[in-house]
């Protein structure tokens, strides 16, 4: 069957993540390799609605594989949530002769792509780009590995000050609904306790655990808290409660915030992005649509977008046990 796809658009949408540029580069170069035209869409779906497009050849993506953020910029577009907004986007895509788009983003961006496909029967593909690793259908999302490394590096620094002053640090990391970053970075950084939304440890058990560690001779501690953890209302209240009920350490809070999203992508994220870009372009050439590319057991796999959106990625429970054993 002759390839129906002659021109592909690529955009980044939702929260930015390290590795997005490497994915843009891969989509653009894969298109060049297969003699398909490629167009970059600026500012996510909002740029699509406004026709903010730029032709992208293989050389246009030089020197970006190592850069964080996204050269195409990202945005959240309320207008794309409306039928009129999506109609404008469709009209621009048609005007430019674009046959399909690849969106790099999270589940919200995939929902937008799916709605668009259902309305206009327009081929769409997704690349999971979010530091949260909360997308079903892939072991890793783009940016997650880099974010883990960033968090571990910062906690290492916090450990220096914690141990110098006999302090207990609560370090809040990103993860509204899932605790992947907290759990993995917590184990990697040697945290005393890791609080994640999936497990409600409870305040009493937290205090018990801190008592145990103090008794065992530890003079400082680090507790990693995912943003969405359910124990305290927020990390500051949690710290206050612990200070009142366990007055043996000076307690400090550090909220890592947006620094977790920035920075140079790790080698892992660059390689993953490169593989994902090739896979989506090849899949579009094969006539596929409405799919997200992912990596499972180191193999590239495709998952239907609606399953990727509805499904939940699960935390690795083995790590909970490892963390417990490591804090003996």
Contact assessment for residue 194 and residue 179, using Cβ atoms and an 8 Å cutoff: yes
Contact assessment for residue 145 and residue 269, using Cβ atoms and an 8 Å cutoff: yes
Q: Which residues are catalytic?
A: 132
Closest approach, Cβ 237 to ligand ATP, in A, equals 25
Computed over its alpha carbons, how large is the radius of gyration of the chain? 22
d(CA 253, CA 86): 43
Closest approach, Cβ 316 to ligand ATP, in A, equals 20
- Nearest one of 305, 135, 168, 144 to 241, comparing CA atoms: 168
d(CA 25, CA 41): 13
d(CA 96, CA 89): 11
Instruction: Closer to ligand ATP by CB, 142 or 206: give it.
Output: 142
Closest approach, Cβ 245 to ligand ATP, in A, equals 35
Question: Taking CB positions, which residue lies at the least distance from ligand ATP?
Answer: 108
Q: What are phi and psi of 295, to 5 degrees?
A: -125, 125
Contact assessment for residue 122 and residue 48, using Cβ atoms and an 8 Å cutoff: no
What three-state secondary structure class fits 88? Answer: helix
- Nearest one of 170, 251, 162, 248 to 212, comparing CA atoms: 248
Instruction: Closer to ligand ATP by CB, 108 or 190: give it.
Output: 108
> How many Å separate Cα 212 from the centre of its chain?
35
The tokens describing 311, both together, are 């499904």
Instruction: Closer to ligand ATP by CB, 106 or 232: give it.
Output: 106
**Beta partners for residue 302, in sequence order:** 293
Instruction: Closer to ligand ATP by CB, 69 or 106: give it.
Output: 106
d(CA 124, CA 114): 7
Instruction: Closer to ligand ATP by CB, 20 or 194: give it.
Output: 20
In the complex, the residues that contact ligand ATP under the rule CB under 6 A are 13-15, 45, 76-77, 80-81, 105-109, 111-112, 115, 130
Instruction: Closer to ligand ATP by CB, 112 or 232: give it.
Output: 112
Closest approach, Cβ 88 to ligand ATP, in A, equals 13
Closest approach, Cβ 44 to ligand ATP, in A, equals 6
Closest approach, Cβ 15 to ligand ATP, in A, equals 3
d(CA 136, CA 154): 28
């Amino acid at each position: 069957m002759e390839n129906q796809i002659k021109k592909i658009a690529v955009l980044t949408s939702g929260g930015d993540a390290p590795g997005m540029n490497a994915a843009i580069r891969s989509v653009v170069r894969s298109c060049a390799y297969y003699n398909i035209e490629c167009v970059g869409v600026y500012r996510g779906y909002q740029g699509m609605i406004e026709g903010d497009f730029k032709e992208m050849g293989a050389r246009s993506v030089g020197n970006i594989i190592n850069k964080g953020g996204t050269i195409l910029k990202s945005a959240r577009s309320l207008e794309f949530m409306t039928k009129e907004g999506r109609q404008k986007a469709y009209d621009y895509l048609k005007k430019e002769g674009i046959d399909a788009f690849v969106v790099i983003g999270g589940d919200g961006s995939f929902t937008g792509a799916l709605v668009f496909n259902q309305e206009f029967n327009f081929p769409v593909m997704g690349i999971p780009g979010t530091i949260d690793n909360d997308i079903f259908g892939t072991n890793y999302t783009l940016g997650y590995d880099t974010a883990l490394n960033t968090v571990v590096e910062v906690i290492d620094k916090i450990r220096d000050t914690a141990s110098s002053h006999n302090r207990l640090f609560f370090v809040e990391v990103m993860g509204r609904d899932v605790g992947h970053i907290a759990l993995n970075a917590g184990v990697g950084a040697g945290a005393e306790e890791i609080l994640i939304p999936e497990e409600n440890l409870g305040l009493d058990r937290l205090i018990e655990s801190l008592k145990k560690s103090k008794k065992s001779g530890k003079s400082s501690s680090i507790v990693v808290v995912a943003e969405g953890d359910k124990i305290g209302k927020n990390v500051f209240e949690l710290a206050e409660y612990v200070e009142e009920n366990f007055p043996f350490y000076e307690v400090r809070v550090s909220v890592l915030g947006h620094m977790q999203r920035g920075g140079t992508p790790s080698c892992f994220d660059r390689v993953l992005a490169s593989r994902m870009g090739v896979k989506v372009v090849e899949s579009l050439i094969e006539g596929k649509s409405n799919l997200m590319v992912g990596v499972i057991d180191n193999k590239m796999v495709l998952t239907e977008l609606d399953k990727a959106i509805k499904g939940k990625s699960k935390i690795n429970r083995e790590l909970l046990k490892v963390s417990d054993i490591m804090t003996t």
